[in-house]
Amino acid sequence: MSSLVLGRSKEERVKPLGEQQLPRTPIERVFRWVLRIVVYLLFAFLVAPIVVVILESFNGVNYLSFPLKGFSTDHYENFLGDSSWMNAAYLSGRTSFVAMIIATSLGTMAAWGLQRSRSRWNPVLYALLYSPVVVPIIVVAIGYYFFFVDLRLIGNWFAVAMIYAAVSLPYVLVAVSASLQHFNPELEKAARTLGASPAKALRFITFPNIVAGIFAGAVFAFVTAFDEAIIILFVSGSSAVTLPRKLWDSVRYDLNPTLAVAGTVLIVICVGLFLAAEFLGAWNQKRRS
């Protein structure tokens, strides 16, 4: 056996398996390059609007124009110095945080319970919990509008947070359920056998193994609530003006590069949270392995 291995050429011994299986015919190589170019073009098409918004926030004039006409940070000063923008950003952060806490708590408990349940009604429960994603968001917004009109809760920020929690709960359910599928429940049973209480087994065995999924679900819940712009148009009234609602009003009545500043703030916060979730997932996978 060793003689066969030593008899192989140096290139064959050092080449990884994946590299040995690369396409070698000219047609396959051309197809590979065409596919790569298409992927790059699609990526550029998706990223270009984000880049334009960020660049527009540094425009040197007081109206929207592209290409840029100069470079200035005055619009950031206007955004930070305008109380209406700051109040909208603060309200968005507050409602999104409350929605994240509610959705993460309920979604984690639902995922944990459904994962361990053997009831025949599990598919029905999953379908009901996923329904906010399946139903068109405009239909959801209209339904919540008529529901909260009767309760006289239009414009109540906590009611808005509850709506956001219901809409973002499916994302938490998906993330936590995926983590639970990779978790061996026998570990929890072993801890119970060794004398650990259900609460201790959940805290010291189950929770550390699914914390990455919980955090990812929490990030999706926060971003969903922070970015939502359809429902808030129906239920915000005149008092619960979040950042997306403020952006919508400014687009209708006051087009200027401050809009791009607000959009850049949304982009930076969302991308930063997603990067944090990816970092935590990679760190947790490394720790477990």
CB 54 within 8 A of CB 264: yes
Q: Which of these, 228, 230, 110, lies nearest to 172 by C-alpha position? A: 110
Region of 92 please: left (phi>0), alpha (psi -120 to 50) or beta.
alpha
- What pLDDT, on a 0 to 100 scale, did the predictor assign at position 289? 65
Residue whose tokens read 């930063």: 272
In b/e form, how buried is each residue of 107-117, taking b as 16+ CB within 10 angstroms?
A: bbebbbebbee
Output the six-digit token pair for 193: 């056998």
- Flag residues of the chain having pLDDT under 70: 1-24, 284, 287-289
Which residue blocks in the chain are alpha helix, DSSP H?
2-7, 10-14, 17-20, 26-56, 74-81, 83-116, 122-134, 137-151, 157-181, 185-193, 198-201, 207-227, 231-235, 243-253, 258-288
CATH of the domain spanning 83-288: 1.10.3720.10
pLDDT at 23: 54
Give the span between the Cα atoms of 62 and 91, in whole angstroms: 26
| Residue partners of 211: CB distance under 8 A and separation at least 6 | 280, 284
DSSP-derived letter for residue 256 is S
Q: What is the pTM of this model?
A: 0.77
Q: Are 160 and 91 in contact (CB under 8 A)?
A: no
How far is CA 211 from each of CA 31, 129, 221, 258, rounded to the nearest angstrom? 41, 21, 15, 38
- How high is the pLDDT of residue 75? 81
* 125 vs 128: CA distance, rounded Å: 5
Domain ranges of the chain: 2-56, 83-288
- Both tokens assigned to 39: 């992927």
DSSP-derived letter for residue 95 is: H
Q: What is the pLDDT of residue 41?
A: 93
Q: Is the dihedral of CA 244, 249, 251, 254 positive or negative?
A: negative
